[in-house]
Structure 1
Amino acid sequence: MDVRQIQMLYASAGYYRGAIDGDPGPLTRDAAAVIERNANAIRSHWPWSRRLIAAAQTVLDAQGHEPGVIDGYAGHNTAEALTSWLSEQAGVPADVSRAPLPSRPTRTRLPRQAEVATAYGTPGPGGTVEQRLGWAETPAPMRLDWDLDTTVTRLRVHAICAAPLTAALAAVLEHYGEAEWRRLGLDRYAGGYNPRRMRGGTSWSMHAYGCAVDIFAAPNGLRTPCPAARFCGSEYQPFLDIMERHGWLSAIRLWGADAMHFQMARL
Structure 2
Amino acid sequence: MISDRSLITPDWPAPANVRAVCTTRMGGVSQAPWDSMNLGSHVGDDSQHVQENRQRLAALAGIELCNVGWLDQVHGTNVVSLPVTGVPRADASHTGQPGCACVIMTADCLPVLLCDVSGTRVGAAHAGWRSLCGGVLEELVSGMGGNPAELMAWLGPAIGPQQFEVGAEVRDAFLLYDPAAADAFSERGARAGHYMADIYLLARQRLAASGVSQVYGGDRCTVSEPQTFFSYRRDGQTGRMASMIWLSDNP
With normalisation by structure 1, the TM-score equals 0.29
Q: Max radius of gyration: which structure?
A: 1
Q: Which has the higher strand share?
A: 2
Larger RCO of the pair (alpha carbons < 8 Å, separation 6+):
2
Per residue, is there more helix in 1 or in 2? Answer: 1
